[in-house]
């Protein structure tokens, strides 16, 4: 099969700076989003995801300007997430140069929003982000508010429903693993990937390059997302791609 698996560096951005927390708290500054996005583009990243974790409304305008600046310099697909609640938020991000938007809590509160968004802008630009936590054997639930608030929704069933509602892709983050560098939660990844007919991005927990390989080979993910292993210079994106290709995974190396 010729379609390459994708590596997607993720920028968690707060008040105009790339940050990275452990289990969604304990923030560490990693630099300027535009510079970092450009660096990953040059290193051969397949896409870039920009997650705005700024709480305030004023911060949103900063985000729009940053997305514009990134889109001017980065010629690979760009996904923007964080605070996408209305069709106007989507329009604003697409107009700023995003190719896709990632919808998280708004989908949980109002699943019809995903339908409306997909009808309006096309499934190809609607990513539904799922934050899942293990609550029992082979049982994962959706959490909101950065992993603090349980919803009682079964993560696998939710993914299937979101695909039916018109999501073009799923960004699956394991809240147990996020920032702790012990590898993806392969159980929930595989359970969701094998249940839906849309691409799934695995996220949360990457601490070394073998974790990326496992995400694809064991978790069956179509794409793998990582942040801190790239931000602090442990690995370049190109090293990660070479490592995955050496493990027999189809990657874009040219």
Partner 1 sequence: MSSKLCAVIDYGMGNLHSAHGALQTVAPDTKVVVTSDAEVIRKADHVVLPGVGAIRDCMAEIRRQEIDQVVAEVRKTKPLLGICVGLQAMMERSEENGGVECMGLFPGEVKFFGNDLVENGEKLKVPHMGWNRVEQVAHPLWAGIADNSRFYFVHSYYVQAANVVQVKGRGHYGVDFAAAMGEDNVFAVQFHPEKSHNAGLALLKNFLAWDGQA
Active site residues: 12, 131
* 230-254 burial: b if 16+ Cβ within 10 Å, else e: bbeeebbbeebbbbbbeeebebeee
Structure tokens at 91: 């329009």
Using CB under 8 A, which of the segments 52-60, 132-140, 172-180, 191-199 binds partner 1? 191-199
Q: Report if residue 249 touches partner 1, rule: CB under 8 A.
A: no
Using CB under 8 A, which of the segments 12-20, 22-30, 67-75, 149-157 binds partner 1? 67-75
* From 16, 21, 59, 97, residue interacting with partner 1 (rule: CB under 8 A): 97
Beta carbon of residue 13, minimum distance to partner 1 (angstroms, whole number): 20
- Cα–Cα distance measured from residue 218 to residue 109, given in angstroms and rounded to the nearest whole number: 32
Q: Report if residue 64 touches partner 1, rule: CB under 8 A.
A: no
Interface with partner 1: number of residues (CB under 8 A): 35
Q: Are 13 and 48 in contact (CB under 8 A)?
A: no
Burial class of residue 57 (count of CB atoms within 10 Å of its CB; 0-12, 13-18, 19+): exposed
Beta carbon of residue 159, minimum distance to partner 1 (angstroms, whole number): 13
What is the pattern of x (binds partner 1, CB under 8 A) and - over residues 114-143? -------xxxxx------------------
Q: Report if residue 41 touches partner 1, rule: CB under 8 A.
A: yes
Q: Report if residue 222 touches partner 1, rule: CB under 8 A.
A: yes
**Chain-centre distance for alpha carbon 142:** 15
Q: Report if residue 164 touches partner 1, rule: CB under 8 A.
A: no
Q: Are 46 and 3 in contact (CB under 8 A)?
A: no
């Amino acid at each position: 099969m010729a379609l390459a698996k994708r590596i997607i560096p993720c920028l968690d951005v707060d008040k105009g700076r790339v940050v990275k927390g452990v289990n969604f708290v304990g923030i560490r500054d990693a630099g300027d989003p535009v510079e970092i996005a450009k660096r990953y583009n040059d290193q051969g990243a397949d896409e870039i995801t920009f997650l705005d974790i700024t709480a305030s409304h004023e911060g949103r305008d900063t985000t729009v300007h940053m997305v514009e600046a990134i889109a001017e310099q980065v010629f690979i697909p760009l996904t923007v997430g964080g605070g996408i609640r209305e069709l106007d938020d989507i329009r604003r991000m697409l107009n700023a140069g995003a190719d896709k938007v990632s919808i998280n809590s708004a989908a949980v509160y109002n699943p019809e929003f995903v339908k409306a968004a997909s009808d309006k802008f096309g499934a190809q630009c609607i990513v539904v982000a799922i934050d899942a936590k293990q609550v029992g054997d082979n049982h994962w639930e959706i959490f909101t508010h950065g992993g603090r608030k349980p919803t009682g929704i079964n993560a696998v069933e939710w993914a299937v429903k979101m695909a039916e509602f018109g999501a073009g892709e799923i960004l699956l983050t394991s809240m147990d693993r996020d920032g702790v560098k012990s590898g993806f939660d392969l159980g929930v990844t595989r359970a969701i990937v094998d249940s839906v007919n849309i691409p799934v991005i695995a996220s949360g927990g990457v601490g070394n390059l073998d974790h990326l390989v496992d995400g694809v080979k064991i978790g069956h993910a179509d794409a793998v997302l990582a942040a801190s292993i790239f931000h602090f210079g442990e690995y370049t994106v190109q090293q990660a791609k070479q490592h995955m290709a050496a493990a027999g995974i189809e990657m874009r190396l040219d």
